[in-house]
Amino acid sequence: MDGEPHQRQRQLLAPPFHGERMRAYGQDIQDITEEVSNQWQMGKLFNIRESMQEITLWVILRVIFGLDEGEMFEELRRSLTSLLDFLTSLIMSSAFFFRFMQKDLEDWSPWGWIWRQQQYID
């Protein structure tokens, strides 16, 4: 977006990201991080990317969407995790960056799945 539409959207989104609200988010982020890190076990290997992704998803769902539990929380968490896992695997493949691969060929194309997943999440 550019120009006036961008400015309108920015004005709508900016207030939650200033001052006291940001300090309150900091406490939520700290709480979420402690919840996730408390699951780590001394001397046992774990996947740090999965932990960081879990923290990020919980922050988005709790702070941005106000969801902490329940059916909608679980559904969004599953959908976002699935999309992020899929995108991560595609990004590792250079084919994702070729324009001709970015077509919705339904079950035959990863791009179509990405587009449908984004529509579902939205």
pTM as predicted: 0.56
Give the pLDDT mean for 92-120. 68
Q: For 9-46, how does the pLDDT look when each residue is reduced to its tens digit (9 = 90+)?
A: 777 776 666 667 777 788 888 999 999 999 999 999 98
CB-CB contact of 83 with 114 (8 Å): yes
> For the chain, what are the domain ranges?
1-67, 69-122
DSSP assignment string, 68-113 = -SSHHHHHHHHHHHHHHHHHHHHHTSGGGGSGGG-S--GGG-HHHH
